[in-house]
Amino acid sequence: MKKRIFALTMAAVMGLSMTAFAEGEVANKDKPLVWFNRQPSNSSTGELDMAALSFNENTYYVGFDANQGAELQGTMVKDYIEAHADTIDRNGDGVIGYVLAIGDIGHNDSIARTRGVRKALGTGVDKDGDINSDPAGTNTDGSASVVQDGTLEINGTTYVVRELASQEMKNSAGATWDAATAGNAIGTWSASFGDQIDIVVSNNDGMGMAMFNAWSKDQGVATFGYDANSDAVAAIAEGYGGTISQHADVQAYLTLRVLRNALDGVDIDTGIGTADDAGNVLTDDVYVYNEEQRSYYALNVAVTADNYEDYLDATVTYAPVSNQLDESAHATKSVWLNIYNAADNFLSATYQPLLQKYDDLLNLNVEYIGGDGQTESNITNRLGNPSQYDAFAINMVKTDNAASYTSLLSQ
């Protein structure tokens, strides 16, 4: 992905005049739209839904660099194993066994994280030119076809690395990334092959902390997650192995900033790569923009015992973009924004509190809608009158379902 500072002319960005936005004369289909956290894409192939990403001239996606973050997580786990080689093999069988909590087998971010861990540990196998991200089920004997045994040579000793078990954490109602399901899974795994488990890995901190609190904390087994939620970062002091910050502070800012820029009729790069009139600006070491994908991606940072104290509060805004906009120059506008699952740990405990701080700074009156994590209709049924909003920020339940929203905006 190529870093770039991307500036558009007012006409290219807007396709509509600032006056039209101010007077409420804009058709819903032309209003600014940001997809965030869940990129419109085919859940089977990962192919981006460019029709959704190009819904109108003011449509963008905001997320994070999933592949870069996945590689960081895998490297973080590998580095930990190498640094603790003398004590990590709990039963002394020469096999470093790990279990893996998979969030959503159809979610690009979940797929990337599973691949990142398997790549770093040498347990991945090829499937259609990439690492297979399917759950392995139970694999204590190393016979599963979707993974293979890896090897690590540490201080002259060769260890086998084995994915003992992995599964999608979906509950009976269909909600994925489910922490309670992960807590139950570690109970089952530990009862069956507990002393073989040397490492616990999770696609996110919500599931990781459920497993940590249910079993691995008491057993002294390092657990690795993703998201840098405040509780997970604090738990590093108690033995949680580490997590990945996806710069939620930068993501939340970008989610609302691109809407603010479109509504103001200014270059989309304003307050991002180019300072705005309040001095807000990001440097290119915390985000990248992919022009072809119309997508902004925050970059990730590994959070471990070495630096966790710097990340204890995940809801602090990013200082370089925390300056209040002057309302006389940036009139208050209304935004409809949904969170796909009101119970999602990262989105509800980290992302939304950040959004609520930035909406004040950017003079946006945001209505927050919390979904059930299972059905799009639970969310779309509450978008009954899109005409009353100036812009939209959408976090889908399933990445395939962008049309459920754009069809409402096209009416």
Structure tokens at 9: 């002319």
User: CA separation (Å) from 359 to 49, 133, 333, 342, 347?
Assistant: 28, 37, 10, 19, 16
pLDDT in tens, the chain (411 residues): 433 333 333 333 344 444 445 445 899 999 999 999 999 999 888 899 999 999 999 999 999 998 999 999 999 999 999 999 999 999 999 999 999 999 999 888 999 999 999 999 999 999 999 999 999 999 999 999 999 999 999 999 999 999 999 999 999 999 999 999 999 999 999 999 999 999 999 999 999 999 999 999 999 999 999 999 999 999 999 999 999 999 999 999 999 999 999 999 999 999 999 999 999 999 999 999 999 999 999 999 999 999 999 999 999 999 999 999 999 999 999 999 999 999 998 999 999 999 999 999 999 999 999 999 999 999 999 999 999 999 999 999 999 999 999 999 998
Instruction: Give the bridge partners for 102, in sequence order.
Output: 168
Which residue bears the tokens 């509060």? 313
CA angle centred on 319, ends 313 and 325, rounded to 5°: 120
CA angle centred on 372, ends 352 and 367, rounded to 5°: 40
Closest CA to 311 of 350, 339, 277, 342: 350
Architecture of the structural domain at 85-221: 3-Layer(aba) Sandwich (3.40)
End-to-end CA distance of the chain: give it in Å, rounded: 35
10 Å Cβ neighbour count for 275?
A: 15
> What is the C-alpha separation between 72 and 228, in angstroms, rounded?
13
Residue 388, exposed/middle/buried by CB under 10 A (0-12, 13-18, 19+)? exposed
Structure tokens at 130: 């990439």
Contact assessment for residue 376 and residue 348, using Cβ atoms and an 8 Å cutoff: no
Name the residue ranges covered by the structural domains of the chain: 10-65+247-299+306-409, 85-221
User: CA separation (Å) from 136 to 99, 133, 405?
Assistant: 10, 9, 34
Closest CA to 164 of 197, 116, 201: 197
Structure tokens at 22: 């101010």
Which residue bears the tokens 């657990």? 223
10 Å Cβ neighbour count for 400?
A: 17
Structure tokens at 381: 């049924």
What are the b/e assignments for 358-369, b being 16+ CB within 10 Å? Answer: bbebbbbebebb
> What is the C-alpha separation between 69 and 166, in angstroms, rounded?
20
The pLDDT value given to residue 24: 52
Structure tokens at 230: 């405040």
Structure tokens at 226: 């993703």
The pLDDT value given to residue 260: 98
The pLDDT value given to residue 45: 81
Phi, psi of 275 (to 5 degrees): -60, 140
Contact assessment for residue 357 and residue 350, using Cβ atoms and an 8 Å cutoff: no
